[in-house]
Amino acid sequence: MNNDFNINLYKKSQQSSNSVKTPHEIVRFLMENLLKSMKNIHNCINLVDESLEEAEVQKKMSKKELAAFKSKNASKALTIIYSLQVSLDFDKTPEISRNLFQLYEFCRIQIINSLLKKTKIGLIKAIEALKEILEGWLNISPGKTQSV
């Protein structure tokens, strides 16, 4: 299933007019989608946590649809994290790779905790940390990056 997701991402990127061409763009694309999925998980938790009346939740999304949406985004986020972790080059950039691996692992743990314990504090911290890394990543010129 994880490989199918990656293959589909690759096919979509090849089909689009803005297809992903460099490792830098691939990592950026994955990080942006990871952040989007994590925000979607957070939003699902917020819908439940806000103590909205049952009718109000059903107007936005049924409980079943909400659970499926949250599960889909969690699966997507965890697959992206795995893809990012295995793409790290510990031989060329050991310190950066180690730090990124730890960040991705922190995100993974917070996603799982948010699903199992229905907590969002750690997920919020992970989203904020990922935003900072992504912002820095967006400021790096693709020509300046080596393998990550």
pLDDT tens digits for range 23-77: 888 888 999 999 999 999 998 887 765 544 444 555 566 778 888 888 999 999 9
Q: What is the mean pLDDT of the chain?
A: 81
CA dist., res. 41 & res. 85, Å (int): 21
Among 10-14, 51-55, 134-138, the range scoring the smallest mean pLDDT is 51-55
pLDDT, average across residues 3-7? 69
Indicate the SS3 state at residue 115.
helix
The amino acid at 146: Q
This prediction's pTM:
0.74
Question: What pLDDT is recorded for position 25?
Answer: 87
Assigned fold of 23-138: Four Helix Bundle (Hemerythrin (Met), subunit A) (1.20.120)
Q: What ranges do the domains of the chain cover?
A: 23-138
CA distances from 113 to 22, 85, 110, 117 (A): 33, 19, 5, 5
pLDDT, average across residues 112-132? 90
